[in-house]
Amino acid sequence: MTFDSLTFAVFFAIVFPLYVVARSFAARKNLLLVASCVFYGAWNPVFLLLLAFTTVFDWWAGLRIHAAADDAARRRWMVASVVASLSILGYFKYAQFFANTAIAAFAGFGIDYRPLDLGIILPLGISFYIFESISYIVDVYKRRIEPTRSLRDYGLFMTFFPHLVAGPIMRYRDFGEQIATPRVVTAEAVALGAYLLIAGLFLKIVGADHVFAPVTNLVFAADYKAGFVGAWMGAFAFSMQVFCDFAGYSLAALGIARMLGFHLPANFESPFASVGIAELWTRWHISLSNWLRDYVFNPLGHYRKGRWRGYANVLITFTACGFWHGAAWHFVAWGALHGAMLVGERMIKESPIGALKIWETKFARVNLALLTFALFSLAVVFFRALDLAQAWQRVCAMFAFVADDAAAFVWNAEAKIFAIGLVVGLLVQAGLKHRKGWEWLPRVHWLMRTGLLGFMLVAIVLSPGRTAAFIYFQF
Amino acid sequence: MTERQSAHWWKTWALALVLCIVCTAAFEAFWRSRGYWPTVMDSKDLWSQQRARASKPAPPLRVALLGASRIQYGFSPSVFRDEARKIGVHVDPIMLALNGQYPLAALRSLAQDDRFRGVAIVGIDALGFDKIARDMQADTVNFYETEFTPARELHRRLLTRLQPHLIAARPDFSWSAIARGYIDHGAPPAKEYVTFYADRSGATDYSRGQAEYLRQSRIEGVKRHYANYVPPPPERWLADAREVIDWVRAINMRGGRVVFYREPVSSAIREYDERYMPRAKYLDALAKIAPAVFVNFEDYPALDIETPDTSHIDAKDIPRHTAAFVRVLRERGVL
């Protein structure tokens, strides 16, 4: 079930009033757990069993870790749980990739096998909930948190429908506190939450699907040979599309959670206003970058073991980040490219050039922000391309190595709408850069707030038909 | 938050909703005053919703109507049901035809589905059996098999209830589609002469459109097509069709039936079909070896109905065409 469907509208129209009138917090939690299972099962009921297995096993493993008499036993339970989680993820997400890679490798040695179709369906949201369960187990093992004795509470942490299929990736430390104390549903929270829900749907339906997707789909079509302008426009369009798509989903999730009295962490904070790739990753998919920092980069040793080891750790972490996104080499390349850009940025900052602090002037910051967006867009080609070959063709075109029969980019209505959307999108992010969270929204003059809400509602109503699946649902 | 701010939230939402309702009403009034109307819009979800019904057990007897636009705009499932009932057969006609796409991928899907035990009516001509046309509907079939979920089904059911009442629910009237029309062509959306229904059937009302223009366009289109297309020789065509015969056998083995129906066409389409893929060497040759029923409109005067654009019958003739076809099925022992 997606937030932008009529199914969800009906679902929430039933769940929300029941939640409000429920007598006790326990009843509310029971309701949310059942509703979350319905929400997930509406996609494919069979995979509820997989989610249930992961949930029950990790909850039990958490208790075992806590109860273990010695460190070796604690470690055994932790390893067992993490291996089980990664095995599930590995089978459903990566088995086909490894099979194809092995077949291609054998072919390189002249051993010819037929392509293998394992017919594995990727369970919705598996990358997100597996990461949440790993963080829970590791945090219990590291004694950062105490495991919950309530299977219902742990189940709700795992399945809470606003964040279940595409994050934000929650930590039990944050969520556990919220399910330990009764949530209060206030009119203000409902009004603000609904406002964020509409803003999220606006980003997704109007921004991603109607403004940016048409240019992306044109430039990244399998038979389109991009020229210099087309390749850049396609890359810019997809950068904005994936932002509107994912930030829209995350914002809607935040809004829905807030209506229910819960707080989810912000997942995007004006990433395209960032100066440098390092800053961008503190503003883009924040819950994932925090997770990677805490459960991959820091355990690898951070920069504590020397500069070069630190660079290697960054590269490993971001290559893993790419692999988390998708089981294909172009995703790996995307992650590795981000790792390389982060290392490059750090090397510049540590060099004599860095001592000049050129980015401290406003003029330089504006230009560096645009450069950061361009670099992000260059890398995102690997994310969006159908395969490495297509990505390489687009990247070559971006550096003016253009095929003779490349298509000229046509400035038709779709391109003009995209160009306006791009400028507006970047300006809005620049304007919102220093605002954290959404607590400032109630302080905006109510007439301005009303006008913006009315505009978003009208635009959503007048944007039927093109709705595509949320991009991050495939991960 | 202060009480004053709380009051403002109430005003914010109330005014924004009023604004939204007023703008939507104005949008509806504007386009209706210009002769546009709301209609159900076809989609992969709607197709999948119908396709799921084909796998349900009998009774009633599931009758899958496969084909392209000639079936989609040529048969009325409700008339089909009523006519069958008159002859004592309880059927559930399911419209699975897809505009502009030959249907063999859908037939393959039914053949591979052990739960389908009904009758497949396949609207097709000789060109449609060619291998190059075989996967035209594969994308939609694949969507049904891998992406259609209970959530999508409910969404589509609700949308189908909404679309007959709101122009704003038509994708071709989204703000971006309208902007594209005006910026690129300086024109509003084209006036459709096809009306869709919730059962996925459509009706082409040529009194609304420019029949002569459409007729000339189709004649030019078929000339262009045959100028660039070399039909396979009959022997190869028949050899390729053996795969289809296997699908027919699979359906027959489960107690189902398959009917291949060449729908009414006229003028240049009829001439070119016969010139490039003569009936005797192609369709009739296949009929001799395939364990299916073949119905050709040329053999049944009641099915040889006028096609104003050379390829599709007019909306007013759909009940007559459907009723005549049900009678033919009865004659041939299918119903």
pLDDT category, A464, cuts 50, 70, 90? confident
Give chain B positions within 8 Å (CB) of A45: 150
Option in A42, A417, A449 nearest B151 (CB)? A42
CA distance A454 to chain B (A): 4
pLDDT at residue number A468: 58
pLDDT category, A247, cuts 50, 70, 90? very high
Place of tokens 């757990």: A33
Average pLDDT over residues B279-289: 93
In the stretch 190-249 of chain B, residues with CB closer than 8 A to chain A read none
CB–CB contact A5 B155 (8 Å): yes
Give chain B positions within 8 Å (CB) of A412: 180, 183-184
pLDDT at A352 over 60: yes
Option in B27, B174, B184 nearest A412 (CB)? B184
Contacts of A351 (CB under 8 A, 6+ apart): none
3-state secondary structure B162-224: HHHHCHHHCHHHCHHHHHHHHHHHCCCCCCCCEEECCCCCEEECCCCCCHHHHHHHHHHHHHH
pLDDT at residue number A120: 80
For A391-415, write each residue's pLDDT tens digit.
998 999 999 888 878 888 888 999 9
pLDDT at residue number A467: 57
Structure tokens at B144: 């049904």
In the stretch 135-164 of chain B, residues with CB closer than 8 A to chain A read 146-147, 149-152, 154-155, 158-159, 162
**B271 and chain A in contact, CB less than 8 A:** no
The half-sphere exposure of A42 on its side-chain side, counting CA atoms within 13 A, is: 22
CA distance A252 to chain B (A): 17
Interface test with A, best of B176, B182, B184, B185 (most A CBs within 10 A): B176
Interface test with B, best of A462, A466, A474 (most B CBs within 10 A): A462
pLDDT at B326 over 90: yes
- Which residue of B lies nearest to A122 if distances are taken between CA atoms? B146
pLDDT at B106 over 80: yes
- Which residue of A lies nearest to B44 if distances are taken between CA atoms? A465
Option in B27, B149, B174 nearest A466 (CB)? B174
Average pLDDT over residues B288-310: 92
Q: Are strands B194-196 and B202-204 parallel, antiparallel or unpaired?
A: antiparallel
Average pLDDT over residues A313-337: 93
The half-sphere exposure of A347 on its side-chain side, counting CA atoms within 13 A, is: 10
Give chain B positions within 8 Å (CB) of A214: 176
CB–CB contact B150 A214 (8 Å): no
Q: Is B16 exposed, middle or buried (0-12, 13-18, 19+ CB in 10 A)?
A: buried
Query: Do the beta carbons of residue A82 and residue A299 sit within 8 Å?
Result: no
Place of tokens 């709607």: B46
Strand ranges (DSSP E) for B209-284? Answer: 257-262
Structure tokens at B77: 């499932």
pLDDT category, B3, cuts 50, 70, 90? low
Quick one: which of B267, A12, A163, B234 has its CA closest to A172?
A163
The CB-based long-range contact list for B252-256 (8 Å cut-off, 24+ gap) reads: B252/B291, B254/B114, B254/B116, B254/B117, B255/B117, B256/B116, B256/B117, B256/B118, B256/B119, B256/B120
Residue B119 bridge partners (DSSP): B63, B257
CA distance A453 to chain B (A): 6
Option in B16, B154, B174 nearest A464 (CB)? B174
Option in B6, B168, B183 nearest A416 (CB)? B183
CA distance B23 to chain A (A): 7
Q: Which helix (H) or strand (E) holds B64?
A: strand B61-66
* Exposure b/e, A129-160, CB count within 10 A at least 16 = b: bbbbbbbbbbbbbeeebebbebeebbbbbbbb
The least confident of A324-333, B6-15, B277-286 is: B6-15
Average pLDDT over residues B104-124: 96
Most confident of A200-204, A324-328, B159-163, B184-188: A200-204
CB–CB contact B183 A412 (8 Å): yes
For A141-155, write each residue's pLDDT tens digit.
999 999 999 999 999
**B19 and chain A in contact, CB less than 8 A:** yes
d(CA B335, CA B327): 9
Reply yes or no on whether A263 is catalytic. no
Interface test with A, best of B175, B178, B180 (most A CBs within 10 A): B175
CB–CB contact A463 B170 (8 Å): no
Q: What residues does each domain of chain B span?
A: 1-33, 44-331
Average pLDDT over residues A157-175: 90
Give chain A positions within 8 Å (CB) of B170: 464-465
Place of tokens 């187990």: A137
For A107-132, write each residue's pLDDT tens digit.
777 777 666 777 788 888 898 999 99
Option in B11, B155, B174 nearest A210 (CB)? B174
Query: Do the beta carbons of residue B120 and residue B251 sit within 8 Å?
Result: yes
d(CA A159, CA A32): 9
**B15 and chain A in contact, CB less than 8 A:** yes
Helical segments of A260-328, H only:
277-280, 286-292, 298-300, 307-325
Peptide bond into B60 cis (omega under 30): yes
CB–CB contact B174 A463 (8 Å): yes
Quick one: which of B2, B15, B17 has its CA closest to A186?
B2
Q: Domain B44-331 carries which CATH code?
A: 3.40.50
Candidates A210, A325, A330, A338; catalytic one: A325
Query: Do the beta carbons of residue A287 and residue A441 sit within 8 Å?
Result: no
Q: What residues does each domain of chain A span?
A: 6-183, 189-474
- Tallying the residues shown for chain B, one arrives at 335
Quick one: which of B294, B291, B252, B260 has its CA closest to B117?
B252
For B256-269, write each residue's pLDDT tens digit.
999 999 999 988 88
pLDDT at residue number B18: 96
